[in-house]
């Protein structure tokens, strides 16, 4: 468990392992995992008004508008969430979103502790995304080669069917990587200037990436 409350943003391209890593932090360290992508996919599945607004962007790999994403996260990051601490996965994606997050955190005097950027090569990202399978019911992630379910096509946790995410189709993967590359540089600079940026290699199995980040947390005195 974390000795103190931490507020971390996990940055990196799609397929870098942010979601898997944040799930491990939640399961093993008890730190809340908040993912904008998961929020959007749940809203789309519920056919809610928000789901209908974001559906086109999400399925085509474009980014949802900064104003809408910041509004949703400002509501999600209430006092309780800020006091408990969190790992944000998939937010912020742009520099204006990072500035929006800072405004929310400043209002409640709950500053960010770190921005952890997971680095990865493009061929690795494409391999991970194109082999990814997700559970329709609970959202758990699998991979056709590196993280197979016990029963083919069925989730280990809830037995739900496993599918290819809409935005994990090859053309959309390429689009998402390009979109990310354009937005990432200013975002990285933003956190570099604030001396919050830590780059960690996202290469190899998720357990290896997890160990690297845990060492970082230990060095920072959070564990």
Active-site amino acid positions: 18, 93, 132, 165, 176
Positions in the binding site for ligand AMP (CB under 6 A): 14, 36-37, 40, 57-58, 61-64, 69, 90-93, 97, 167, 176
CA-angle at 26, arms to 213 and 56, nearest 5°: 95
- For residue 160, the 8-state DSSP code is P
Q: How many CB atoms lie within 10 A of CB 219?
A: 10
Radius of gyration of the chain (CA): 17
Least Å distance, CB 40 to ligand AMP, is 5
CA–CA dist 92, 23 (Å, integer): 18
Q: Which is nearer to ligand AMP, 180 or 213 (CB)?
A: 180
Residue 166, helix vs strand vs coil: helix
Specify the residue, 58 or 82, whose C-beta has the smaller distance to ligand AMP. Answer: 58
Q: For ligand AMP, give the closer residue by CB, 142 or 167.
A: 167
Q: How far is the CB of 202 from ligand AMP (least distance, A)?
A: 14
Strands of the 141-143 sheet, one edge to the other: 141-143, 132-135, 162-163
The 3-class SS string of 40-96 reads HHHHHHCCCHHHHHHHHHHHHCCCCCHHHHHHHHHHHCCHHHHHHCEEEECCCCCHH
Q: Of the two residues 50 and 196, which places its CB atom closer to ligand AMP in the complex?
A: 50
Shortest Å distance, C-beta 4 to ligand AMP: 26
């Amino acid at each position: 468990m974390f000795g103190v409350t931490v507020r971390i943003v996990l940055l990196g391209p799609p397929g870098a392992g942010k979601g898997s890593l944040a799930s491990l932090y939640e399961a093993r360290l008890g730190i809340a995992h908040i993912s904008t992508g998961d929020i959007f996919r749940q809203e789309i599945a519920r056919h809610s008004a928000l789901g209908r607004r974001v559906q086109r962007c999400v399925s085509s790999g474009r980014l949802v508008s900064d104003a809408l994403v910041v509004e949703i996260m400002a509501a999600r990051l209430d006092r309780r969430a800020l006091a408990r601490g969190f790992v944000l996965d998939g937010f912020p994606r742009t520099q204006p979103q990072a500035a929006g997050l800072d405004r929310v955190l400043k209002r409640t005097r709950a500053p960010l502790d770190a921005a952890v950027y997971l680095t990865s090569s493009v061929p690795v990202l494409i391999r991970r995304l194109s082999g990814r399978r997700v559970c329709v019911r609970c959202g758990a992630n699998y991979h056709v080669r590196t993280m197979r379910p016990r029963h083919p096509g069925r989730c280990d946790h809830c037995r739900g069917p496993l599918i290819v995410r809409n935005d994990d189709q090859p053309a959309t993967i390429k689009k998402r990587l390009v979109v990310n590359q354009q937005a990432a540089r200013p975002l990285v600079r933003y956190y570099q200037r604030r001396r919050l940026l830590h780059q960690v290699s996202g290469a190899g199995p998720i357990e290896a990436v997890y160990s690297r980040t845990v060492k970082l947390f230990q060095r920072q005195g959070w564990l």
